[in-house]
Amino acid sequence: MKYSIAQKSLLAISLALLISCSKTSELDISQQSVPSVPLLQCTAAERMPESIEAIEAVRLGEPRTILPDSATAYVGESANLYRYYHFVGLATTKYLIGSDTIEFELAQFETDVDAFGFATSFRTNGAEYQGVGTASFMIGKSFYATIADFVLTAAPLTETENSATRTAELVREISNLMEATPPPAWYTFFPSRDQVSQSARYYSYDYLGVNGLNKVYTIDYVAGEDTATFFLVPDTSGQKFERLKILAESTERAIGSPKRMPYDTGLGMAFEHPDLGIIIFGVKQKKILGVIGYDPRQIESLVRGWIEGFK
């Protein structure tokens, strides 16, 4: 999202109530969180049947299991992304269906929310839902889907007229052998109007680069010709709000809570981020509700209604 200097100044003035003069917290938001390794057994290989009669699929050899301590050798620089989503392990193998060989991978995470967050970190806004699990989409020829705490990935190694169809069938058949879970419940707290299709994401760690700003749920919304990102963060201790406040004050463009936004008294704030435009955030019912790319000319009523809805 891009603004001219004049637009940025106008937006900042329209949001301001008072210049923030609160004392800077001693919390350090500059460090990077250290990913944890769940103490769970990886059962991914057990979910890969030797054969699937319905689609005449045959597994080619025993699955190979990759555990977190050896993930770097297998996935390279992506290993930390796996770990930040509490990676338990993965299994990989190949299936033969007719004349097509399909590479199949099943990655396991600590929770279904972690699996959803990991998979949707690759998904582009508006990607067509493929009808499997809480999220399923295509990237090139690869098929991605989330079922419970697993992320399924399949890609054809051959090119025939049936390879794409068979790849999708393999994912669907194996997903049917697993117990599905609903999407994360926190997404029901977002406005349904003006959502950008397939834009829900979950950040398990350091959202906006802020150490400790974890477990963040987001959805993108149409804001005129641009988009804005709404984010929700459970914050029972209030510490995550303090961390966001430090980020706001560090830009030296922090201002008081935007007008007419019904945050809890004294717990609302807005600032101009150097790369992301105007960000507003505040606390309501021990939850942080915020918007990145806030433009009062486009989405003020939607944002205000969202915050008012938390009683």
Is 39 within a domain? no
Q: Domain check: are 108 and 136 in the same one?
A: yes
Report the CATH number at residue 53: 3.40.1000
Q: Domain check: are 57 and 169 in the same one?
A: yes
Provide mean pLDDT across the span 17-45.
72
Instruction: Look at residue 266 in the predicted model and tell me its pLDDT.
Output: 87
Residue 306 pLDDT more than 60? Answer: yes
Is 183 within a domain? no
Among the listed residues 67, 91, 71, the one whose alpha carbon sits nearest the alpha carbon of residue 81? 71
Instruction: Grade residue 116 by pLDDT with cuts at 50, 70 and 90.
Output: very high
What tokens were used for 152?
A: 């399924």
Instruction: Evaluate whether 150 touches 143 at the Cβ level (below 8 Å).
Output: no
Q: Domain check: are 27 and 74 in the same one?
A: no
Is 267 within a domain? yes
pLDDT tens readout for residues 166-207 = 999 999 999 999 999 999 999 999 999 999 999 999 999 999
Range of the domain at 260: 5-33+205-308
Instruction: Grade residue 278 by pLDDT with cuts at 50, 70 and 90.
Output: very high
Q: Domain check: are 136 and 256 in the same one?
A: no
Instruction: Evaluate whether 232 touches 190 at the Cβ level (below 8 Å).
Output: yes
Is 191 within a domain? no
Share of the chain above pLDDT 70, in %: 92
Q: Which class for 27: exposed (0-12), middle (13-18), buried (19 or more C-beta within 10 A)?
A: middle
pLDDT tens readout for residues 134-170 = 999 999 999 999 999 999 999 999 999 999 999 999 9
In 3-state terms, what secondary structure has residue 104? strand
DSSP assignment of 74-86, as one string?
HHGGGHHHHHHTT
Instruction: Grade residue 246 by pLDDT with cuts at 50, 70 and 90.
Output: very high
Among the listed residues 172, 42, 45, the one whose alpha carbon sits nearest the alpha carbon of residue 105? 45
In 3-state terms, what secondary structure has residue 174? helix
Q: Which residues contact 51 (CB under 8 A, 6 or more apart)?
A: 57, 58, 59
Judged by phi (left if over 0) then psi (alpha if -120 to 50, else beta), residue 115 lies in alpha
Give pTM, 2 decimals.
Answer: 0.89
Residue 4 pLDDT more than 60? Answer: no
What tokens were used for 234?
A: 């459970």
Q: What letter does residue 39 receive in the DSSP assignment?
A: -
Q: Domain check: are 91 and 136 in the same one?
A: yes
DSSP assignment of 257-281, as one string?
PPTT--PSTT-EEEEEETTTEEEEE
Is 195 within a domain? no
Q: Domain check: are 59 and 161 in the same one?
A: yes
Is 193 within a domain? no
Q: Domain check: are 26 and 49 in the same one?
A: no
Average predicted confidence (pLDDT) for the chain: 90
Residue 270 pLDDT more than 90? Answer: yes
Q: Of 157, 175, 193, which closes a domain?
A: 175
Instruction: Grade residue 16 by pLDDT with cuts at 50, 70 and 90.
Output: very low
Q: Domain check: are 65 and 161 in the same one?
A: yes
Q: Domain check: are 120 and 145 in the same one?
A: yes
- Number of domain units in the chain: 2
pLDDT tens readout for residues 52-110 = 999 999 999 999 999 999 999 898 988 989 999 999 999 999 999 999 999 999 999 99
Is 186 within a domain? no
pLDDT tens readout for residues 87-102 = 999 999 999 999 999 9
Q: In this structure, which long-range contacts are made by residues 109-113, counting pairs with CB atoms below 8 Å and at least 24 apart in sequence?
A: 109/38, 109/85, 109/149, 109/150, 109/151, 110/38, 110/40, 110/86, 110/149, 111/86, 111/149, 112/146, 112/148, 112/149, 112/181, 112/184, 113/184, 113/202
> How many angstroms from the chain centroid is the CA of residue 255?
28
Is 180 within a domain? no
